[in-house]
Structure 1
Amino acid sequence: MRKILLLLSLTALFACKKGMEQYRNARPVSEVSVSTYDFLRQQGALYDTLLRLIDAVHLTDTLKNQQVTFFVPQDVSIETAMKNLNFARERLGEPGNWTLDSVPLAVWDSLLRRYIVRGIVDADSLRYADGSDLISLYGHEMNGKTSSTNASGAVGGGTQLLVYSDKNDSRFTKDWSTALTQNVDIHSKNGLMHILESQHVFGFTSFVGKAYPRSLEPIQGPYLGYPIEIPGILNAADYDEGPKEIAYHYKNPDGGKAYRNDDPGTENCSEGDNLISPGGRYNIGWISDGDWVRYTVDIKDTGKYKLELRIAGNGGGIVYLLIDDIPVSDEIAVPNTGGWQNWQSVFGTADLPEGKHLMKVVFKKANLNLHRIIFTKL
C-alpha cells in the first residue's frame, strides 16, 4: 500500500510541475475579425490621434487591406513626443505652441512607417539571441526580439514581451532606440498587431530632430549658462559655447585642453583664481593673427568703459573689441612681457551699449596669451 501511495504522490507531483510549465510558457493569442485599422477604431479614444495621422499620410488602406505587422504606438506616446518638441523650441527661444498640424506631414509619414513591417512577424519568429532584423515601410532597418519578465522569483517566468528597436542606421546595439510591448500577437483580418507600452515616445529618438531641425544644431550661448555682466570681469576661457565661426575663429586647433576641448587652446594660468568662475584659473593661448572669441555679455549701462587686459607674451600683439560685429574699442597694443606666464596689464577704452549683446575679442596681431578683461565704467 505504501508503494502505491508513493507512486501516486510522485505522479501527481510531476503532473503538477508539467502543468506549471505549460502555464508559465503559455502566451495568449488574440484574434479579431476586423482589419487592423478597424480594430484600432473600435478602441474608443485610445488611438484617435494615431488614426488621424494615419489618415493624413494615406496609410489607411495599408492597415485595412494589406498584410502587415503593426507595432502600435499609443496616443500618449505621440503626446509625449509633442511635449518634447515644444520644450526644445522653448529652450531655443521660440514659442512652445506647436500642434500636430505644425509638424510637416512628411515627418509623420516617415516615422509612422517605422512601426509597420510587411508580412506577419509574430513573437515566435523573433526568438533569437540577437532578435531578427526587420525592414519597415520605406526600407528603414529595425530589430525585433522576444524577452520575458520575471515573476514570483522565477527568472524569465513572467509575461512575454517584445523589444522593438530603431537601429538608427548602426549595427551597434548601444546606438539603438528601443520600445517594449504591452500586448503581443493580436491577429486581425489582414495582419498582426503588437501594442507598444505607453512609456514609449513616438518616433524613438528621431521625432524632435526631424520635426524641428534647429534642435540638432550645436548648443550656442554663454558658456556659464548666463551672460557675463559688465562692468565686471570677463575671463577669457569662458568664451561662448558653440561651433567654429559662431563662438570662435581659431586657426590653430592643436592648443592645450586644460579647461575646454574645442579649438581655442586653454592652459593653467599662473595668476589664476576662480573667484568669478572656474574659467578664472585658465588663460587662452595658441592664438594666430585674425583669431577671435565670442562672449555673451549683459552691459548694465551705456557709456565709456576702461578696459584692463591681463596679457602675457612676446610682444607685437594688437587686440580690439566688437559688439554685434561693430567695432567699439580702440586697438590695444600688447608689449613683450618676458614670458608666456609673465602677466601684465594693458589698458584701453570702449564705448558700450546697454543690454545683452555678443562681444568678440579680436586678435588683429597675436603672439600673446589672454587671461581676462576687467571692465570699469568711466
Structure 2
Amino acid sequence: MKKFLLLLLIISYWGCEKGMDDYRNAKPASEVPVSTYDFLKQQGDLYDTLVLLIDRTKLTDTLKNQTVTFFVPQDISIATALYNLNFTRSKLGYKGNWTLDSVPLKVWDSLLRRYIVRGVVNADSLRYADGTDLISLYGHAMNGKTSGTNASGAVNGGTQLVLYSDKNDSRFSKDWSVATTQNVDVKTKNGMMHILESKHVFGFTSFVGKAFPESLEPLQGPFLGYPIPIPGIVEAPDYDEGGEGIAYHDNDKGNTGGQYRNEDVDMENCSEGNTDGGSPGGRYNVGWTRGSEWLRYTVDIAEAGDYKVEIRVAGPGGGIVHLLIDEVDMSGPITFPDTGGWQNWQGVFANVKLPAGKHYLKFFIEKSNFNLHRYIFKKI
C-alpha cells in the first residue's frame, strides 16, 4: 500500500497520455481499503510531519474510526508555514529558530481541525455556484466549491478540482482564504480525502498570527527607521509607528487634513515648509489639535544636559503643552500665544534638561487651539 495513491496517479497518467498540467489536477481512480489515518501513515515521508501532528493533537481515532472528510495538507505546506513564521519573527527582532515543538499544541490542534469535516463530502456535493458551506470539527465556517480546468482549449473541459476556503468569519468571498486541491475524491474505509496542492500554506492565513500573536500588533518604532538625533529637528508629523495608544493619542477618527500619513493624526500642508532639507515630514504640520492628545517620538540624545527647544506653532487661540521623556515631565507647562492665524508661524521657547541616549519624547497637549510644525533642540 505504500505510495498507493501515487501509483494510481502514475497509471492514470501514462494510460491516458495526459500533459503534466492535466496530471497535476487529475482525479485518481479513488478507493483505498484502509482508514484515512492508515493511508497517510503508509505514505512514508510524504506525510511524516502531518501524521506526527495528528498523533500529538489526538486526532488519530477521528481519522481512523470516525466518518469524516479530510482536506489533506502536505508536509511542504507545514514547512512553508514554519518558514513564514520564522521570517516574521526575525523581521520583528526575534530569533527565527522555531520548530514544530516551539508552536503551542493548541495552535496545531485548532488549525488542523479546519481541514476536517464530519461525514462524506465528495466533489459532486459541491457543484453549486456559491459552493457549499461546511463546518470544521471546532465549528469553524469553511466552504467547498468545484472548479473546472481547461483542456485542449475547451473552457472547463478538463478535470474538476475543489476550492476549499476558510471563510475568515466573513460572508463575503473576497475575504476568504482559498486552498486548491491537487486530487479529489479519494475514498477510504472511514470517509473521503481531498489532497491539497503543495503550494497551499498550512493554516490558510491564520498560522503566523496564532503561533506568534506579537506579529498582529502594530509595528512599533521610529517612523524614519532610526531614532531622531538631538540636538536637531524633530518634525511633528514624524511621530513613531505603533498606532493609537502607543505612538499617539487622537480624539477623533481619521486624518482630517488627509496628508502624509494614513492614521488618525490630522495633518495638512505647511506654509512654513521644509527649508532645511530634512525629513519629508517638514512639509506638513499637525492640525485640528485638542486637549489630552499626544505624540511620541523615539529620539537619540547625544549628550545629557540643558537644551533650549523652539516649538513652531500657529493658531488664533494658543495653548498649553508639556514635553516628557519616558513619561517624566521635563518642561512643565509651556504656554503658546495667539499667533494671529492658522499658518502664521511663531517660535515658542523653553529650557529642558535631557538625559543621554535613546528615549521616548512625548509631546502632550493640555489645552489647544493651534497647529504644530516642529521642535528644534539646541544644546545650551
Q: Output the TM-score relative to the length of structure 1.
A: 0.87
Q: Is the 8 A contact 2:28 2:183 kept in 1?
A: no
Query: 1:176-195 counterparts in 2 under 5 A?
Result: 176-195=176-195
Judge conservation of contact 1:330–1:350 (CA < 8 Å) in 2: no
- For residue 257 of structure 1, report the CA deviation from its aligned partner: 2.9
In the aligned structure 1, how far is the partner of 2:199 from the partner of 2:336?
A: 60
Q: Percent identity of the aligned residues? A: 69
Query: 5 Å matches for 1:96-175?
Result: 96-175=96-175
Shift of 1:178: 0.4
Residue number in structure 2 paired with 1:270: 271
Task: Report what 1:238 is aligned to.
Answer: 238
Q: Distance in 1 between matches of 2:323 and 2:26?
A: 74
SS in 2 for 1:87: helix
- Separation in structure 2 between the aligned mates of residue 372 and residue 228 of structure 1, nearest angstrom: 12
Q: 1:326 aligns with which of 315, 325, 328?
A: 328
Deviation of residue 142 (structure 1)?
A: 0.9
2:314 match:
312
* Residue identity opposite 2:110 in structure 1: S
Q: 1-side partners of 2:99 and 2:304: how far apart?
A: 42
Deviations along 1:119-157, one digit per CA (max 9) or x if unpaired, are 111112212221111111111111111112223333223
Deviation readout 1:58-84 (Å, 9 max, x if unpaired): 100111111111100011111111122
Of residues 153-162 and 128-137 in structure 1, the stretch that sits farther from structure 2 once superposed is 153-162
| SS class of match (2:360) | strand
User: Following TM superposition, by how much is the alpha carbon of 1:27 offset from its aligned partner in structure 2, in angstroms?
Assistant: 4.2
Letter in 2 for 1:374: I
Residues 253 and 192 of structure 1: CA distance in aligned 2, closer, same or farther (over 3 Å) = closer
Is the alpha carbon distance of 1:295 and 1:26 closer, same or farther for their aligned partners in structure 2, counting shifts above 3 Å? closer
Q: Could you tell me how far apart the structure 2 residues matched to 1:204 and 1:253 are?
A: 32
Structure-1 residue corresponding to 2:43: 43
Q: Which residue of 1 aligns with 2:82?
A: 82
The one-letter code matched in structure 1 to 2:212 is Y
* Contact kept? 2:26, 2:183, Cα under 8 Å: no
- 1:352 partnered with 2:351: no
TM-score w.r.t. the length of structure 2 is: 0.87
Residue identity matched to 1:196: L
Which amino acid is the alignment partner of residue 183 of structure 1?
N
Shift of residue 229 of structure 1?
2.5
Aligned to 2:344: 342
Letter paired with 2:113: R
**Aligned partners of 2:28 and 2:186 also within 8 Å:** no
Structure 1 residue aligned with 2:261: 260
Aligned residues of 2:78 and 2:201 also touching (Cα < 8 A): yes
> Could you say which residue in structure 2 is the equivalent of 1:364?
366
1:294 equivalent to 2:296? Answer yes
Compared with structure 1, are the counterparts of its residues 28 and 73 closer, same or farther at alpha carbon in structure 2 (3 Å cutoff)? Answer: closer
Contact kept? 1:330, 1:349, Cα under 8 Å: no
Structure-1 separation of matches of 2:365 and 2:27: 71
Distance 1:67 1:283, change over 3 A: same
CA–CA distance in structure 1, aligned partners of residues 289 and 126 of structure 2 = 57
Residues 330, 219 of structure 1: CA spacing in aligned structure 2 closer, same or farther, 3 A cutoff?
same
1:308 Cα deviation after fit: 1.7
For residues 193 and 251 of structure 1, the distance between their equivalents in structure 2, rounded to whole angstroms, comes to: 53
Q: Is the 8 A contact 1:330 1:348 kept in 2?
A: no
Instruction: State yes or no: 1:223 paired with 2:219.
Output: no
Structure 1 residue runs without a partner (length 5+): 1-18
How far apart are residue 42 of structure 1 and its match? 1.1
Q: Tell whether 2:52 aligns with 1:52.
A: yes
Question: Judging changes above 3 Å, is the alpha-carbon distance between structure 1 residues 73 and 296 closer, same or farther for their aligned structure 2 residues?
Answer: same
Q: CA RMSD in A?
A: 2.5
Cα offset, 1:177, TM superposition:
0.3
Q: Supply the distance in 2 between the matched residues of 1:109 and 1:250 (Cα, whole angstroms).
A: 40
Quote the Cα distance in structure 2 between the aligned partners of 1:315 and 1:130.
59
> Matches of 1:227 and 1:289 in 2, distance apart?
27
Deviation at 1:209, TM superposition (A): 1.6
Q: Deviations over 1:183-234 (max 9, x none)?
A: 1111212111111111111111111222222222233322333332222221
In structure 2, the residue matched to 1:200 is 200
* Conservation of the 8 A alpha-carbon contact between 2:311 and 2:376: yes
Deviates further, 53-62 or 133-142: 133-142
Instruction: Name the residue aligned to 2:376.
Output: 374
